[in-house]
Amino acid sequence: MEDWPDIDELRERFLNHVFDEQTFSISADSCAGFAVACGELAPCFTDPEHPDFQAPPTFPSTFRTHHHRPPDFPQILGLGMDAGKAVHSYKPIRPEQELTTKTHLHDVYQKTGRSGRMIFVVSRMEVFDAHGELLAAADARQVVRERPTS
């Protein structure tokens, strides 16, 4: 079995501390292009001329961080992979508005399954407008599972 870190210690040390912050804006074309690529049909997501044009709710899942985890977060030995994304949408995100993302570790937990023991690391990116209002939160979940013994 891999020498895995203590989960309670990881939670104590790393949860809820912002480790990545960025300010940027998005273009109408990138919003509409993403919507079309997702198969979206509603004009408010696909037509930049629409009076209520806005980014599709899942668009924040495309925002990137400079750091995936806090700089001093320990390496977890095992087989790592993406374990899914989720977006909580609170208010419309409009093109060209100034956006600020702040990312923190939201959860670290472990579980057991057919494939053995697994550790899940959930980072949450919160998206704010220029007034500091929360527009969305995008969770990125990564799993590391222990290597098969045979």
Partner 1 sequence: MILDLHAHSIKSDDGRAKVQNYCQWIRAREIPVDGFVLTEHRQFDLESDYSALAEEFGLCILKGSEVETEYGHVLVFGVTKALTEEFDFSDIHLPLARVIEACAKHNAVPVPCHPGRRRVGMTAHIEEYGIPEGVRIVEIYNGGSRGDEDAIAQTMATEQSYLGIGGSDAHIVSHIGRCATRFPAPIASEGELVEALQGDQFEAITYRED
- Indicate the residue among 14 and 53 with the shorter CB distance to partner 1: 14
- From 111, 133, 134, 147, residue interacting with partner 1 (rule: CB under 8 A): 111
Adjacent-strand bridge partners of 100: 23, 128
- Indicate the residue among 71 and 148 with the shorter CB distance to partner 1: 148
Backbone dihedral region for residue 96 (phi beyond 0: left; psi -120 to 50: alpha; all else: beta): left
Residue 15 near residue 108, CB atoms below 8 Å? yes
Q: According to the binding rule CB under 8 A, does residue 102 interact with partner 1?
A: no
- From 39, 51, 71, 113, residue interacting with partner 1 (rule: CB under 8 A): 113
Q: According to the binding rule CB under 8 A, does residue 117 interact with partner 1?
A: yes
b/e burial code for range 77-86 (CB count within 10 A of at least 16 → b): ebeeeeeeee
- Indicate the residue among 75 and 150 with the shorter CB distance to partner 1: 150
CA distance 34 to 15: 31
Run of H or E residues at 140:
strand 134-145
Interacting span for partner 1 (CB under 8 A) from 37-45, 72-80, 95-103, 113-121: 113-121
Residue 63 near residue 20, CB atoms below 8 Å? no
CA distance 87 to 45: 16
Q: According to the binding rule CB under 8 A, does residue 114 interact with partner 1?
A: yes
Shortest Å distance, C-beta 123 to partner 1: 15
Binding mask 61-100 for partner 1 (x = CB under 8 A): ----------------------------------------
CA distance 93 to 43: 15
- Indicate the residue among 24 and 90 with the shorter CB distance to partner 1: 90
Q: Where along the sequence are the contacts to partner 1 (CB under 8 A)? A: 109-117, 120
